[in-house]
Each structure stands twice: as C-alpha cells, then as structure tokens.
Structure 1
Amino acid sequence: MSDLALGDVAPDFSLPRDGGGTVSLSDFRGRPVVLYFYPKDDTTACTAESIAFTALLPEFEAAGAAVIGISPDSVARHDKFAKKHSLSVVLGSDEETEVANLYGVWKEKSMYGRTFMGVVRTTFLIAADGRIARIWPKVKVAGHAEEVLAAVKAL
C-alpha cells in the first residue's frame, strides 16, 4: 500500500467498467481526471456522491475533466447501480482491490466494534500531466462534488 502525495505521478490502472469494456487512467492522459474511490454501490452516501458527480458531469466535461468512480463492486453491480440512479460517470470495478491498494485507500476500518478491510472514501484530482494535484481523504459527501469541480476549474 502506498501513500501518495501531491505531485506524485498517479499510478496507471486498467479496470473493467460499467457498460462493458475497460477504463484506464492512460486513456485520459492530457486532461484532468477526477478519481473518486467509494466503498459500495447503492449505499446512502455512495449513492449521493455518485449522483452529485453525475449531476455536475457536464460542467466537469466543459472544464476538460473526466470523472471515474471506483469501488470493489462487480461490473454487474455497477451496471445495476448506474441504471437504477441514471448515473453517467464511469464506474470502474476493482474487485481484487489492486487499484485501491495502489492509491492507499484500502485500509482497516471499524464499525460497531468490528474491524474489517474496506475502501476509505477518497478523491484524487489528477492534472493533465498525470500528477496528483489534490487529494481529499475521508470525504464527507455533502458539497464534495462542487468543491472538486472548483478545484478542476482552478487547475
């Protein structure tokens, strides 16, 4: 597990995605990428976060940025999640948690006195040169997509 810092080159990856095919970070070289890691499809906060990024997607695209959500859910779950909530952001399936480990977001968590491994909700803004421009650790969903959009526009 690595702890990435501002200015580091964002690790490349290739993952199966919703709707079929794959999504790779290198596909977006030359433009900013918002990479948001979330724990699980169709849970309250994850749904709100994905809906917020979808709602602002036209503005992200107008600013030249791509938006990719990544969770350990399967492509089949992503497809169901995207359809149910009319999501238009790309959803990458990281079932083996390789990408979550590369980005240092697969960590020990605890809930109700039980500890387990899981994704810590984190967003990375990757600049057009492939370097990490901003990191939001332990994201609180309310207002987050708007804050990320402002950071994209400020690049």
Structure 2
Amino acid sequence: YIGGIGGALLLVLINPVSALYFLIFEAILQQVDGNILGPYILGNSTGLSSFWVIFSIMFFGALWGAVGWVIGVPVFAVVYALFRKVSDALLRKRGLTLETGVYEELAYMENGEMKFLGDQASTRFNAKRPQSNWKRLLHIGKKLSADAKKRTFTG
C-alpha cells in the first residue's frame, strides 16, 4: 500500500481522476495478490493447499501476532507433513492403499476387507449411495402431497 499511496500522491498533482483510478486498481491488485496469488505460490512451495496457507496465517497470526504471520506457514507445513507421514505409515502397516480415490466409495471395512457402497455382499448393512438433496426433497414433497390428499399427516 505504501508504494500505491506514493504513486497516487504524484498522480494527484497531474490528474486527480487518474489518481482515483490508480488507487482502485492498486486496492484490487493488493487483494488478488494477498488473497489468491500469494497463498497459491506459497502453497506450491510448501506442499499445502491455498486454504491451509490462509488458515495457518490466520491461526498463528491470532495466536502469536506478527511473528505468527511470518512463521505460521512453515510451522503448519511441518505439522502437516508429520501427520501425513504418520497416517501413511499407519495405512501401510494395515496393508491399505495410500490412494485416496479408493476410499471415496468405501462404506466400511470388515475383517480387513473393504466393503463398498452398493455392494450386494454387505453383511453389516445394506450400503447404498446417499441420495442427492434434491431427490430427498422431492421424496418428502411427494409424501406430504399424498398425505394432504388423504388428509392424514404422519410427522
């Protein structure tokens, strides 16, 4: 912001309207740089997503102030890496894959065997893919409509 203020002061002497445009552009540029571009670049260099970069800056900044802003991302990156290594080691110890995509359709595990959603051999419960919210609302709406026609409501 300091550079933008200095540039705007010089522009005010030449053309005040241009100075206003410059300040608006500078504010937008600072927001994009600080909230999008900076976390993206910092996330790529530390292995964290942009969300975790912003989270660590806010969390450690609230915890330790200006010092937290500076050391928050590196500290969080180390903690994140440690948790990742521990979770990977525990998965390997149990003979499970590290690929997260495998677990998206997983309902539960029984005796070391993976039971997936929609699996007919499920012994614990009939695992089904959850309906979308729209289908649930449509089902509830149809039930209420049928109850209204019968003039009986079943909570």
Structure with a larger share of its residues in strand:
1
TM range (shorter): under 0.3
Instruction: Point out which structure has higher relative CO (alpha carbons under 8 A, 6+ apart).
Output: 1
Greater Rg by CA: 2
The TM-score, its normalising length taken from structure 1, stands at 0.19
The TM-score, its normalising length taken from structure 2, stands at 0.19
